[in-house]
Structures are given as C-alpha cells and as structure tokens.
C-alpha cells in the first residue's frame, strides 16, 4: 500500500444586537435535545455500520459505494443524466462531454480513499493538503514456454482529476445553503456544482476556519504554522469519539486530559490507553477519519443537529468577539452570521421535522436581526 500526498490550490460592519448575540442552540430544552439524539438520523444502524466500514474517504457522511450510483436506477435515461456523490448530493451531468462524465462516474462510484489533512490561505490562494491510500498489486507469471483556476499536484492529465472532484463535492456539501439539495445540482466541466459560483469566492464568503471544522480538517494559520499547540476543535471531536465508547457526556470524560490539553513529545502514554489513543487521533489524520467512520450514527461526532449547534455557536462566538477576518474573506459582521444561521436552519428544516419549531424560530430571529442591521 502506498500513501500519496496531494495538494489542491483554489485561487482567484456592524456589531450584533444584544438580543441575538446571546442566542445559542444549547439553550434548547434538554429533553428535546435528548430525544433528538436518541433517534437515528439515517436508516438502520446495523446497515449503516456495514456501509461505513467500506470506506474512510468520506469527510461528512457515511460512505458506501453502492449509494454513489445514480439515483434513478430504474430508468436508463435518468442513469445517464445524474450521479450521486460520496456526500449524497446528486449532480446533473448529461450536458458534459462524455470523457468528463466518465471521469465523474468512475470517481463517485469508487471514490478514492482520501483524507483531508490541512487547509490554509496563502495570499490569494486556498490550499488543501490531502493524503490518499493507493493499493498496488504485483503479479509474477510463469513464462509462456515454461486544471475555475484550480490545480492538483497529482500526475493525472485528465481534468478535473478525481482529487478535485472529491474535494469540491465535500466543499459544496458544506457551503451550499440556498439550493434544494433534494434535486440534482447541475455540475460544470470544472467538476463542481454551478450553484456555488466561483469556488474561491464561495470559500471567502463562508470563511475557511468555519469550513475547516465542517470538513474535520486542521487549519494552518501564520500563528499556528510553527507552534506545537493542539488543534482545539480536533481535540473536542476526539473527546466526543472517545466518550461515546463509554456512553458518557463528553464534558465529563477524562477532564485530566481534555480540560487542559498538553501534547508532550511522546505519542504513547504509558499505562494510559485512552490518552494514547487521544494523541493518535490528533497526530494521525487517517486514524481519526477511520475512528469517525465506524462511530455510530447517534454518537455526537455524527449527530447532524449537534454539528449544526457547533457551527452556529462558532459563528456567534466570532461575531461577539469581533474576531478579525483575513483580507481575502468577508468581515465577521451581521450579514455573514445571519447567512450561516439561516442556511443551517433551512438545511435542518428539510432534514429533521422534530426540530422544526425551534429552527423556524431561530430563522425568524436571524431574518429580523439582518433586516434591523440593513435598516
């Protein structure tokens, strides 16, 4: 087995009102949230675990190669026009050249085993680094007589390559707020949904730090590039995964490890298996994504409502602290925060009716908040 590293390159207000800045999804009743966690967000758990074990390439949803085939298998015409991706988005591709369609179908039906390691912004470029597990075979036989402006470091001459297709599908899944994803998304010849517009500008409006958390990727910044500080969000997700093994509240699990994370030089912590696994989860991206892929659908690491909670809380926290945004990205202002809250709310309304009342309330509040700021 060979591990290959690829790099992809994508190139080219006002303070919140006091009533909304205090908003948090954590304020919902504990009974409602407990009920929501108890109910699986997908079909049968046993089938889900079987599906998940087949692939570790998916960054956001469960992966099973049979699910990536066309939605409308009963119709040859529909099979030729659409394809389902690893993130379970459906793309309309019948308008693309036959060669491009073939690349897309091959990539989505048998997705490469890719793990996104880190992402960063370098001047006017968003850079994503990923590793790919590549299986090679050797046969010994007896003798018969006895490249939007995107680039990838892979040697594949086909454009778009499978790495670009895989990454853009992950990004579209995270950032597409205003489209009905139950309908096929029209894909362009560059390998992504037309609805997101220019990929660089799409990330700029969304913000790379928020995207990195959704993709479970380490974010490299000028301040973090050379230090040895732990990735706080990765540490939080590692705590969620380890605590789920014991069915414990993450906040109560091993406070001696997580309340004040200290890395140290050694990965193996003698006489402490849990802390050793924690260090491995921080240190090894493939191990982290493998652990996540075999977690249960009701575990916090895979609970869509919990991840929505984290995203909105992150946005509100950035807004309240007036965290400065980079020159290439939109400011941390009210319209930016409201777009995230509305987008997340709309996604949850379509996905889970139990939280519909709460979601409609928060969306209504976000709309009023945004209108007040615009006035």
The pLDDT of residue 221 is 83
Q: At residue 324, does pLDDT exceed 80?
A: no
Q: How confident is the model at residue 77 (pLDDT cuts 50, 70, 90)?
A: very low
Name which residue leads in pLDDT, 135 or 75: 135
The pLDDT of residue 143 is 60
Q: How confident is the model at residue 54 (pLDDT cuts 50, 70, 90)?
A: very low
Q: CB of 103 within 8 A of CB of 158?
A: yes
150-164, 166-180, 201-215, 324-338: lowest mean pLDDT where? Answer: 324-338
pLDDT in tens, 155-164: 876 778 889 9
Dig out the tokens for 164 from the structure: 């670009």
Domain segments of the chain: what residues?
2-12+17-138+150-227+299-374
Q: What's the predicted TM-score (pTM) here? A: 0.73
Q: How confident is the model at residue 118 (pLDDT cuts 50, 70, 90)?
A: very high
Q: How confident is the model at residue 222 (pLDDT cuts 50, 70, 90)?
A: confident
pLDDT in tens, 236-260: 999 999 999 999 999 999 999 999 8
The pLDDT of residue 27 is 47
The phi and psi torsions of 133 (rounded to 5 degrees) equal: -85, 120
Mean pLDDT of the chain: 77
The phi and psi torsions of 128 (rounded to 5 degrees) equal: -125, 125
- Strand pairing report for 150-152 and 2-10: antiparallel
| H or E, element range at 8 | strand 2-10
The pLDDT of residue 330 is 79
Percent of the chain with pLDDT over 70: 66
Three-state helix/strand/coil letters over 69-135: CCCCCCCHHHHHHEEECCCCCEEECCCCCHHHHHHHHHHHHCCCEEEEEEEEEECCEEEEEEEEEEC
């Amino acid at each position: 087995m060979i591990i290959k590293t690829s790099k992809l390159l994508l190139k080219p207000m006002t303070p919140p009102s006091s009533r909304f800045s205090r908003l948090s999804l954590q304020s919902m009743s504990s009974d409602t949230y407990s009920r929501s966690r108890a109910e699986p967000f997908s079909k049968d758990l046993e089938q889900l675990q079987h599906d998940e074990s087949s692939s570790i390439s998916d960054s956001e949803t469960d992966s099973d190669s049979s699910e990536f085939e066309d939605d409308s298998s009963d119709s040859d015409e529909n099979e030729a026009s659409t394809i389902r991706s690893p993130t379970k988005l459906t793309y309309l591709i019948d308008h693309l050249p036959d060669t491009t369609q073939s690349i897309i179908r091959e990539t989505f039906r048998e997705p490469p085993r890719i793990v996104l390691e880190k992402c960063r912004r370098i001047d006017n470029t968003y850079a994503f680094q990923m590793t790919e597990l590549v299986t090679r075979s050797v046969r010994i036989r007896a003798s018969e007589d006895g490249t939007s402006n995107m680039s990838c470091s892979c040697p594949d001459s086909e454009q778009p390559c499978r790495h670009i297709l895989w990454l853009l599908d992950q990004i579209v899944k995270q950032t597409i707020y205003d489209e009905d994803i139950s309908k096929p998304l029209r894909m362009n010849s560059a390998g992504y949904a037309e609805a997101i517009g220019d990929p660089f500008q799409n990330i700029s409006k969304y913000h790379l730090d928020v995207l990195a958390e959704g993709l479970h990727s380490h974010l490299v910044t000028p301040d973090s590039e050379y230090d040895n500080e732990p990735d706080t969000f990765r540490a939080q997700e590692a705590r969620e995964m380890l605590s789920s093994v014991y069915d414990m509240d993450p906040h109560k699990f091993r406070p001696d490890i997580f309340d004040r994370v200290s890395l140290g030089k050694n990965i193996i912590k003698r006489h402490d298996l849990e802390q050793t696994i924690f260090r491995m989860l921080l240190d090894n991206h493939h191990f982290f994504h493998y652990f996540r892929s075999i977690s249960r659908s009701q575990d916090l690491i895979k609970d869509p409502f919990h991840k929505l909670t984290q995203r909105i809380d992150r946005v509100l926290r950035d807004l309240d602290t007036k965290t400065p945004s980079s020159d290439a990205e939109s400011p941390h202002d009210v319209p930016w925060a409201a777009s995230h809250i509305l987008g997340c709310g709309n996604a949850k309304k379509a996905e889970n009716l139990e939280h519909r009342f709460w979601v409609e309330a928060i969306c209504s509040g976000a709309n009023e908040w945004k209108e007040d700021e615009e006035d």
